């Protein structure tokens, strides 16, 4: 394979493979890039979407840049990839998507914005990333489904939750006493059926960028 992509809960390999013919690997951790570079024929491109935060050592900027120094094109988006791209873009890593832009601009800066818990066997997420909630609420406000004040109450409540407990259901339960019933119901319907999944959208943008580069 000319490209290797680390991903998991942001976008399943089954869906990703419809976008790009690549080697799909589990969320990245310390040592994974070094392992790729040690192959007889390393990939031309590495894409980083998801990464490990708690159970293993996170991939370091130094290891990412070792691939760049070897002439490998490295893309990042969505989650760990967006974090590392914001740090390493000045030295050649390529950031893709809205979440990368949010980190690169300083609009967000905390790791917990993208952190979630998930089933390592199935890749299924057990919590919702803060950054997805931010973009979703912003979309609901922009569409006029809820007021900016309601959006701020929701985002503030979500941020106060420890990230493993951060789910739409839990946030809606916390904010229910503080919101007008109609707006609470509007948010519930929006998250159930229409809310964007920015992590998944950004992962697809990364796959598209790699596909375009490889021709």
Per-residue model confidence as pLDDT tens digits over 79-128: 999 999 999 999 999 999 999 999 999 999 999 999 999 887 787 889 99
- Taking the C-alpha atoms of residue 195 and residue 136, their distance in angstroms, rounded to an integer, is 5
Q: pTM of this prediction?
A: 0.95
* Cα 174 to Cα 41: distance, rounded to the nearest angstrom: 52
Mean pLDDT of 40-45: 96
For residues 91 and 73, give the distance between their C-alpha atoms in angstroms, rounded to a whole number: 11
Q: Which residues pair with 45 in a beta bridge?
A: 3, 73
The two structure tokens encoding residue 76: 């990042």
Long-range Cβ contacts of 61-68 (<8 Å, 24+ apart) = 61/87, 61/88, 63/30, 63/31, 63/33, 63/34, 64/33, 64/88, 64/93, 65/91, 65/92, 65/93, 66/33, 66/34, 66/37, 67/33, 67/36, 67/37, 68/92, 68/93
The model's pLDDT over 159-176, given as tens digits with 9 standing for 90+, comes to: 999 999 999 999 999 999
For residue 121, the model assigns a pLDDT of 77
pLDDT of 201: 98
Distance in angstroms (rounded) separating the CA atoms of residues 59 and 125: 20
Please state, in angstroms and rounded to a whole number, the distance separating the CA atoms of residues 97 and 107: 14
Summarised one tens digit per residue, pLDDT across range 45-64 is: 999 999 987 766 899 999 99
Residue 174, C-beta contacts closer than 8 angstroms, at least 6 positions apart: 157, 161
At 2, the pLDDT band (50, 70, 90 cuts) reads very high
Which tokens sit at 80? 């760990």
CA distance 143 to 129: 22
Closest CA to 117 of 160, 167, 176, 72: 167
């Amino acid at each position: 394979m000319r490209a290797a992509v680390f991903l998991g809960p942001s976008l399943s390999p089954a869906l990703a493979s419809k976008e790009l013919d690549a080697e799909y690997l589990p969320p990245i951790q310390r040592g994974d890039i070094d392992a790729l570079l040690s192959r007889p024929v390393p990939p031309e491109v590495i894409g980083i979407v998801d990464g490990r935060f708690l159970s293993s050592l996170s991939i370091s900027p130094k290891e990412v840049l070792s691939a760049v120094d070897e002439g490998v094109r490295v893309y990042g988006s969505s989650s760990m990839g967006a974090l590392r791209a914001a740090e390493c873009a000045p030295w050649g890593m390529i950031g893709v998507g809205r979440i990368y832009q949010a980190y690169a601009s300083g609009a967000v800066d905390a790791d917990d914005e993208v952190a979630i818990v998930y089933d390592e066997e199935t890749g299924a997420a057990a919590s919702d990333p803060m950054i997805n909630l931010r973009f979703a609420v912003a979309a609901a406000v922009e569409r006029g489904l809820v007021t900016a004040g309601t959006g701020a109450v929701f985002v503030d409540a979500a941020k106060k939750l420890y990230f493993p407990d951060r789910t739409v259901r839990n946030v809606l339960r916390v904010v229910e006493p503080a919101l007008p019933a109609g707006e609470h119901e509007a948010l519930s319907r929006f998250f159930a059926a229409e809310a964007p999944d920015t992590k998944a959208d950004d992962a697809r943008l990364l796959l598209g960028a790699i596909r375009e580069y490889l021709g």
